[in-house]
């Protein structure tokens, strides 16, 4: 049985907090936890929870506003944090894992880009000197993004319609993280080949890699096949890092690097990243990355670590700060006829430069 995943739980919690901001202008912790208790997680198996949070009038002249919250999460990793499973903790004012501290951060950190974007959206109908019919739908769907093949990054989508038309020309989309710098968790072979193609790099052993990894060992079964697969992917990773380092002086490298970052971070829905951990909230916004690219003259790549711990960092110049890094993770067990592959993953991870400065 799957265990609690705080990131999955926080998708639902953050959606509730967004509904609070649109409906009441602030986040009330008691309201957030009460709504968690009222959501039956059993519905996540085959459907979604949908509730009207508030219908009210606001603005001058007054607008008629309706805020609706829709939540569909992964049942196996979130059910203990909602409904009857969460009720005993709710009655004792307790919580699961670090969820309580993260909710406190959502309440405490008011100077955030996502709140500023929400306020800007609200001002577009509250301060337009018209009486409008406004419908706001906050949709947290922890399953839809997976079915998109990775092109959709947003875990939460906010659809704000004023008299039937979308406000601010596009939906608000947020990719929620819970203390994680991972932007993309890619298939090692497909991920590396895609990145090489983006940078216009051809490997000397590319045909061999495609034959062995893409065809012969796409599904390795015997211990010998598994060892060969691990070793070949490791060689591909080393060749990928070396080739990208050689390519870094080309005039097209900066543009390709920023486009890779945008695709794995924001996706087709241009989802701003909101990372909530135990002590702070960090954000990656489309506007910040656009500004970074304008101010970056070139990108230097730095290899660090050894063996399976080797990474390739993309350092922005003249800022000399890391935008992102590539990392390969392999985990095996046993030897001889007992050799097993536990984990083979290829990550794109955010660096410090990726995070937007906090608002003042």
pLDDT tens, position by position, 258-292: 999 999 999 988 899 999 998 999 999 999 999 99
Does residue 150 register a pLDDT over 70? no
Give the per-residue pLDDT at 107. 96
Is 286 exposed, middle or buried (CB count within 10 Å of its CB: 0-12, 13-18, 19+)?
middle
- Percent of residues, the chain, with pLDDT higher than 90: 84
Predicted pLDDT of residue 1: 46
Decide: helix, strand or coil at residue 280.
coil
CA 175/CA 115 separation, integer angstroms: 14
Q: How far apart are CA 223 and CA 266, in angstroms?
A: 39
pTM: 0.91
What are the backbone angles phi and psi of residue 36, rounded to the nearest 5°? -60, -40
Bigger pLDDT: 2 vs 115: 115
CB of 30 within 8 A of CB of 120?
no
Which pLDDT band holds residue 169 (cuts at 50, 70, 90)? low
Contact at 8 Å (CB) between 22 and 138? yes
Q: How do strand 133-141 and strand 63-72 relate by DSSP bridges? A: parallel
Tell me: pLDDT of 152 over 90: no
Q: Report the pLDDT value the prediction gives residue 153, as an integer from 0 to 100.
A: 86
Domain regions of the chain by residue span: 6-177, 182-264+287-354
Q: Percentage of residues in the chain with pLDDT exceeding 70?
A: 96
Asked if pLDDT for residue 35 goes beyond 80, the answer is yes
Q: Is residue 145 pLDDT above 60, yes or no?
A: no
- Give the residue, 146 or 66, on which the prediction is more confident: 66
Reduced to 3 states (helix: H, G, I; strand: E, B; else coil), residue 174 is strand
Question: Which residue, chain included where needed, has tokens 């095996």?
Answer: 332
Residue 127 has pLDDT above 50, yes or no: yes
């Amino acid at each position: 049985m799957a265990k609690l995943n705080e990131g999955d739980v926080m998708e639902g919690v953050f959606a509730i907090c967004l509904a609070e901001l649109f409906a009441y202008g602030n986040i009330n912790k008691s309201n957030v936890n009460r709504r968690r208790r009222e959501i039956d997680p059993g519905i996540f198996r085959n459907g979604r929870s949908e509730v009207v949070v508030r219908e009210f009038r606001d603005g001058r002249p007054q607008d008629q506003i309706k805020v609706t919250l829709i939540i569909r999460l992964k049942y196996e990793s979130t059910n203990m944090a909602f409904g009857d499973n969460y009720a005993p903790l709710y009655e004792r004012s307790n919580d699961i894992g670090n969820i309580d501290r993260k909710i406190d951060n959502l309440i405490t950190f008011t100077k955030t880009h996502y709140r500023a974007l929400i306020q800007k959206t609200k001002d577009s109908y509250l301060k337009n000197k018209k009486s409008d019919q406004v419908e706001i739908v906050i949709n947290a769907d922890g399953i839809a993004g997976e079915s998109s093949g990775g092109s959709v990054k947003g875990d939460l989508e906010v659809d704000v319609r004023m008299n039937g038309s979308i406000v601010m020309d596009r939906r608000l989309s947020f990719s929620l993280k819970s203390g994680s710098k991972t932007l993309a968790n890619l298939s090692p072979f497909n991920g590396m080949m895609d990145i090489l193609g983006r940078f216009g790099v051809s490997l000397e052993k590319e045909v061999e890699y495609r034959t062995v990894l893409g065809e012969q060992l796409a599904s390795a079964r015997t211990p010998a096949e598994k060892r060969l697969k691990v070793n070949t992917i490791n060689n591909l990773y080393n060749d990928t890092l070396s080739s990208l380092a050689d390519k870094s002086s080309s005039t097209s490298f900066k543009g390709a690097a920023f486009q890779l970052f945008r695709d794995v971070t924001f996706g087709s829905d241009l989802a701003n990243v909101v990372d909530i951990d135990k002590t702070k909230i960090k954000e990656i916004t489309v506007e910040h990355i656009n500004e970074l690219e304008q101010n970056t003259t070139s990108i230097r790549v730095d290899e660090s670590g050894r063996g399976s711990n080797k990474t390739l960092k993309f350092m922005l110049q003249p800022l000399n700060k890391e935008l992102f890094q590539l990392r390969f993770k392999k985990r095996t067990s046993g030897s001889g006829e007992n050799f097993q592959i536990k984990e083979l993953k290829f990550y794109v991870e955010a660096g410090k430069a990726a995070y937007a400065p906090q608002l003042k």
